[in-house]
């Protein structure tokens, strides 16, 4: 039981419009484009990473650009992406987002935290959480958002399942998460959201599981989320998790080298795709920290195909 995940590592979603995606996440949300690369399994598609000023593990939301129809909302999927901000920043964000034409909720308390809910231009459901200043802050000097209000990293991620039982078994018995509380969904008070935490807990280390029996099954598409990744510090940690997941006979990918991190993929029993990823080596493995994301980065095994890959991508 000593093996513990460190929190959310990154979350990967789908966009059908990389140019508009970059404008929203950098110009409106003020995040740093920390890596501009391609999907290593589909080099015709961008893989864009946004994070804090130091591209810290746990701050990254990433997007595959695929020309696909909008996602269909439903269960057996990741339904809401959380970001953390500082205390007293939510009124700033409410006013900033509304000035940019983004429809937002009012600032309200959910599960004991002040929150602000809204959607990105393709309908991905996002929530800003006041994290109470519980974490290190790495602002981005070139962000249009003042340092004290910038997004600090990922917060609670919410998945939807029709039955919490099988998912809870994997979260607690395989992944060593802890079931810590539950609350009524702010979007449907008839439904319950169960909170599981990992590592030291807190907003950066929580997975929220909304139970939605009878809801239609989600369909992957633009504005939807592809998978969520959890943190392990290094390659020894990933090897231990791989052995553990395999020991429980959970079908999995085996270790996959992503160059900026190393990963293990598997699905929980209701079909949501999980990844465990290493904090090392990080996004400065192939370009200086000062200029992250300014040019197309390719892992070494793709460099020989750079010219062809670049011809297939629209500039962003």
CATH number at residue 151: 3.10.180.10
| Residue 257: per-residue pLDDT | 95
Q: Give the domain extent around 25.
A: 7-312
**Do 270 and 163 contact (CB within 8 A), yes or no?**
yes
| Residue 221: per-residue pLDDT | 98
* Model pLDDT for residues 45-90, shown as the tens digit of each residue: 999 999 999 999 999 999 999 999 999 999 999 999 999 999 899 9
Establish if 261 belongs to a structural domain. Answer: yes
Establish if 1 belongs to a structural domain. Answer: no
| Residue 166: per-residue pLDDT | 98
Establish if 155 belongs to a structural domain. Answer: yes
Establish if 2 belongs to a structural domain. Answer: no
Establish if 227 belongs to a structural domain. Answer: yes
pLDDT average, residue stretch 222-229: 98
**Roughly how many angstroms between the first and final C-alpha of the chain, as a whole number?**
45
- Tell whether the model's pLDDT for residue 92 goes beyond 60: yes
Which of the two residues, 229 and 133, has the higher pLDDT score? 229
Establish if 232 belongs to a structural domain. Answer: yes
Q: pLDDT grade, residue 189 (50/70/90)?
A: confident
Count of domains observed in the chain: 1
pLDDT average, residue stretch 279-304: 94
pLDDT average, residue stretch 240-253: 98
Indicate the pTM of the whole model: 0.96
- Tell whether the model's pLDDT for residue 37 goes beyond 90: yes
| Residue 97: per-residue pLDDT | 98
| Residue 255: per-residue pLDDT | 98
Establish if 111 belongs to a structural domain. Answer: yes
């Amino acid at each position: 039981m000593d093996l513990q995940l460190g929190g959310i590592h990154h979350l990967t979603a789908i966009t059908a419009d990389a140019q508009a995606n970059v404008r929203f996440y950098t110009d409106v949300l003020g995040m740093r484009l920390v890596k501009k690369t391609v999907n290593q399994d589909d080099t015709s598609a961008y893989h864009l990473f946004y994070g804090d000023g130091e591209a810290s593990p746990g701050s990254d939301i990433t997007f595959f650009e695929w020309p696909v129809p909008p996602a269909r909302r439903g269960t057996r999927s990741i339904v809401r992406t959380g970001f953390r901000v500082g205390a007293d920043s939510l009124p700033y964000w409410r006013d900033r987002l509304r000035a940019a034409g983004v429809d937002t909720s009012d600032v309200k308390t959910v599960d004991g935290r002040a929150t602000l809910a809204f959607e990105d231009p393709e309908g991905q459901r996002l929530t800003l959480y006041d994290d109470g200043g519980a974490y290190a802050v790495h602002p981005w000097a070139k962000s249009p958002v003042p340092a004290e209000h910038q997004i600090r990293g990922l917060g609670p991620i919410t998945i939807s399942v029709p039955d919490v039982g099988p998912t809870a078994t994997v979260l607690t018995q395989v992944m060593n998460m802890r079931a810590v509380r539950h609350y009524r969904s702010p979007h449907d008070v008839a439904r319950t959201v169960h909170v599981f935490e990992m590592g030291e807990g807190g907003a950066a280390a929580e997975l929220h599981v909304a139970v939605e029996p009878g809801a239609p099954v989600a369909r992957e598409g633009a504005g939807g989320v592809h998978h969520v990744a959890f943190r392990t510090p290094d390659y020894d940690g990933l090897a231990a998790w791989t052995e553990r997941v395999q020991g429980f006979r959970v079908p999995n990918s085996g270790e996959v080298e992503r160059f900026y991190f190393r990963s293990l993929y598997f699905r929980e029993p209701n079909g949501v795709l999980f990844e465990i990823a290493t904090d090392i080596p990080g996004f400065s493995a192939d370009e200086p920290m000062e200029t992250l994301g300014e040019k197309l980065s390719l892992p070494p095994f793709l460099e020989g195909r750079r010219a062809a890959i670049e011809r297939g991508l629209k500039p962003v």
